[in-house]
Chains A and B, each alone.
Chain A
């Protein structure tokens, strides 16, 4: 018996059989993973097409890309506007001038600039405006208190805010003069816990990065947000050009200072509390987009990491929630996991290449198989680009559509960004070290040349 086992152990045919069995098992696992990755990408693909078709149909029905609104002068609650600013001397004057020009009654308006331990003239400029306009207040945070991120600054600003509605604007933003009326009117509906307006890139003509960011914004707001709102899905609060019902914000405990995407986190907390976020497409506001690939990396890395933090924090709550319908749950999970998608694309490429090398021996086969996977991962995910193209068309930006193919490069650029974010999150989870550092986006003020304002200072 022992002799037979020994023979079997050293039987070269048995060893080869086992090697083949292991190889087959690996191939089967890889194939299953590839199918899963493909299914996930297909889910996003379908989602983007649904969004695009919804908005296209809606625009056709309305006969115009802009939905007309009727202004209601009877609802004028007290509004507090928070503007967190850290080293924003180049842009702070622009938004404060606009705050002075807002058409909302000034006696019902409180603008709070939170100077978050700036080392430049941000605080001085803000105080000059505060002296000129009594509805503008400045909260100066020193080095010990400040510099801990936007969420911490907003929480500090909330202590001063006494409005029924709390709106937020970033310092590099430049809103319409009647934006407060447009945003606030939605709170008449008691189910609306938060509102979000539309962001338009101001410094778009500057270079190829700003032009591509602008296209992404068009897709994100003109199509994505509008479709989610129309379909009753999860419209997202984007952290700026929007706001909350004050009582709700207080009951939720304000902004979570441990999450880098504090806006997405609050969006989900609002929905889980049984309220909704209303997207107001005609409440428009300019923003200054990042101007270099390096700045793009920093900003997207923060977004990706923050979004992934939210995914880990909320996915189970979303699944379990009794306040969300099935469609909201599906959309919520897709939204939470959206920054995993570039990682999944990379993952599917690696699996595809591995499979072709494991399965075939002829040299040209891997080429074809790899190309098909590469094409699927890019063209297959072309839906967002299609979405952006339709958004640009609806905005009357037919020539801007010509740049849509270049978005392939931003997709490729997002792959290492999101992969690094995921690796960093996993490391911080394993080591239990919180390595969240709020890296602020620098604003040059170059967008000033594209607007005409009568800045007093």
Chain B
């Protein structure tokens, strides 16, 4: 058996360490480059609150502001009935 020279040992150690680090960090690098994680945990019961807010916003968006403004203009035009 031929004993490995000091140089060969050093080169093998160097590449061994580099390979180990790359293999260890590879998944992390992939996740950092293309994150597929769902993000922060949604607080418990918070989802319902979000849905409520979305529903409110949707209702507000669908609200017929044009008609409301017309009715408001008509009311404003009418004479005051207060004494």
Contact = CB atoms under 8 A, between A and B. Distances in A.
* A, B from the same assembly: yes
Interface of A: 66, 101, 175-178, 200-205, 208, 211, 214, 282, 284-286, 363-364, 367, 371, 395-397, 399-400, 402-406, 408, 450, 452-454
14 contacts: A176-B46, A177-B46, A200-B43, A204-B40, A205-B40, A284-B44, A364-B9, A364-B10, A371-B17, A399-B35, A405-B24, A406-B28, A408-B24, A453-B53
A47 B82 CA distance: 79
Interface range for B: 20 to 34
Given A178-B45, A405-B25, A202 B31 contact: no
Interface of B: 6, 9-10, 13, 17, 24-25, 27-28, 30-32, 35-41, 43-46, 49-50, 53-54, 56
A403 B32 contact: yes
Which of B6, B10, B37 has the most chain A CB within a 10 Å cutoff?
B37
Interface SS, B side: helix
Contacts of B13: 367, 371
A129 B54 CA distance: 24
Given A176-B43, A286-B40, A405-B25, 7 more contacts: A66-B44, A200-B43, A208-B32, A364-B6, A371-B17, A396-B38, A403-B31
Contacts of B41: 200, 284, 395, 397
Contact of B28 (A203, A286, A402, A453): A402
A286 B30 CA distance: 27
A3 to B, nearest CB: 50
B10 to A, nearest CB: 8
B53 A402 contact: no
B37 A176 contact: no
Given A176-B46, A178-B45, A284-B44, A205 B6 contact: no
Nearest to A101: B49
Which of A177, A201, A402 has the most chain B CB within a 10 Å cutoff?
A402
B40 A200 contact: yes
A202 B49 CA distance: 17
